[in-house]
Amino acid sequence: MQRFQLRNALALGICAIVAFAILGYFLRDAAISVKEYERTVTAKGLAEREVPADIVIWPVSFTLASNNLAELYQSIDQGSQSVREYLRARDIAASDISTNSPVITDKSAQSYGGPDAPFRYVATAVVTVYSHDINTVRRAMNDLPELGKKGIVLTAGNYDSQTQYLFTGLNDIKPAMIEQATVNAREVAQKFAANSGSRLGKIKRASQGQFSINPRDANNPHIKKVRVVSTVEYYLAD
C-alpha cells in the first residue's frame, strides 16, 4: 500500500515538473512575442498654414500739454473728435471706433518733473479702432500723416499704442491641420520602417502639440502663420 502511494506521489511530481516546464516554455514564447510586438517608432508631423487676420485693433494715440487743466480737457475732446472724423472719412464704421479715457499727468506732483517743466499737465488720449475690415483700416493707416498736419501729435512706439492683428478662425481649420500633421508623421514613420526592414503597424499612442499663431514676418503682421506638430508612436512589425 505504501509502495503504491509512493508511486502515485512520484508520478504526480513528474507530471507537475513536466507541466511547469511546458508552461515556462509557453510563457517564454509569449514574452518574446510581446517584446517583438512592442517595437515602436515615434515620428513628428508638421502642419503649417498661412491665413489672413480677421480682426484689427488699432489704437490711435496722441498727446497734449497745457498749464490749464480745463483747457487741456477741451483740447482732448477736440483732438478725439478730429481723429474720429479722420477715421469716418476713410470709411471706418462709427461702431468700430471707441474713445478711451485720457491719462493725465501732473508734472508738478512728480519729483522728476521739477519746477522748470514747460507744462504742468500732459495728457495721452487714445481713439481705438476694432474692426473686421482689415484692408480699409490699413489704408487709413497709410494716410496717418494727415492727422499730423492738423496739429495732432501722434504717439508711436509705446506698448499701449501697438496695432494688433488677430485670427479667430482656428477652430475651423483645426481638424484639417491635425489630419495633415498626422499624415506627415505617418510618412516619416513609413520611411523609417522601410529603411529598417520593417513594416508600419497600428498607432500605439498619439499626442497633439499646441497650435501657434504668429505673424508671417515683421512686415506683414496681418498675415498669420498657424503651426501645429503632432507626435505619433507606431508599432513596427517584421
pLDDT in tens, 113-125: 555 678 899 999 9
Average pLDDT over residues 80-87: 96
Predicted confidence at residue 108, as pLDDT, reads: 79
Task: Write out the H or E segment, with its range, that includes residue 234.
Answer: strand 223-237
Domains contained in the chain, CATH given? 37-53+168-238 (3.30.110.170), 55-166 (3.30.70)
Lowest mean pLDDT among 47-61, 99-113, 210-224: 99-113
Phi first, then psi: what are they for 145, rounded to 5°?
-55, -20
Which is nearest to 140 in space by CA: 60, 224, 216? 60
Predicted confidence at residue 30, as pLDDT, reads: 38
Band (143; pLDDT cuts 50, 70, 90): very high
CA separation for the pair 134, 182 (Å, rounded): 33
Share of the chain above pLDDT 70, in %: 80
Residue type, 92: I
Q: Taking the model in full, what pTM does it have?
A: 0.76
First to last CA, the chain: 59
Tens digit of each residue's pLDDT (9 = 90 or more) over 40-67: 899 999 999 999 999 999 999 999 999 9
In the numeric block, which cell numbers belong to residue 88? Answer: 469716418
How much of the chain is helix, strand and coil, in % rounded to 5? 45, 30, 25
Which is nearest to 76 in space by CA: 101, 106, 108? 101
Residue 14 predicted with pLDDT over 50: yes
